[in-house]
Amino acid sequence: MSDFNAIAQSRPDRNAEQFTEFYYKTFDSDRTGLMALYKDQSMLTFEAQPIQGATAIIEKLTSLPFSKIQHEVASLDAQPSNTEGGILVLVSGRLLVDEEQRPMSYTQAFQLLPDGQGSYFVFNDVFRLVYGAS
């Protein structure tokens, strides 16, 4: 409970915020750099397609059919996901691809787990475009 209160008081939790900032900055500049955030046991469900393992995940992310992308985070929430330092992160935001002028909305949930070296890796990653929001 104290973990949640601590996170709640610094909402959005600083670790989740730092991770998210790094994640999208890297995604938008050089997707191959995301490799360091995933491990063999990491899972990505990208628009309903399940992918497992850092290598396969980066293959998927780097093969997405756009050359430019820009994420803009609209909301970021974090909760402790277990008693071992895991963090559940829910992001909603907008993204622009290539020369498209109209942003698309998306939602993305992560579970971050401590990597044993003072940082985190992505254990769960679920991405969805959100259609038809008002």
- Interface residues with a second copy (CB under 8 A)? 1, 4-5, 7-8, 11, 41, 43, 45, 48, 50, 52, 74-75, 77, 79-82, 88, 90, 92, 94, 102-105, 107, 109, 111, 123-124, 126, 128, 130-134
The 104-114 sheet, strands edge to edge: 49-52, 38-46, 120-130, 104-114, 87-97, 69-80
Can you read off the two tokens belonging to residue 70? 């820009």
Q: Which is nearer to a second copy, 31 or 128 (CB)?
A: 128
In angstroms, what is the minimal distance from the CB of 60 to a second copy? 14
In angstroms, what is the minimal distance from the CB of 30 to a second copy? 26
The C-alpha angle with vertex 96 and arms to 63 and 111, in degrees rounded to 5, equals 65
In angstroms, what is the minimal distance from the CB of 118 to a second copy? 21
**Helix ranges, the chain (H):** 2-9, 14-29, 54-62
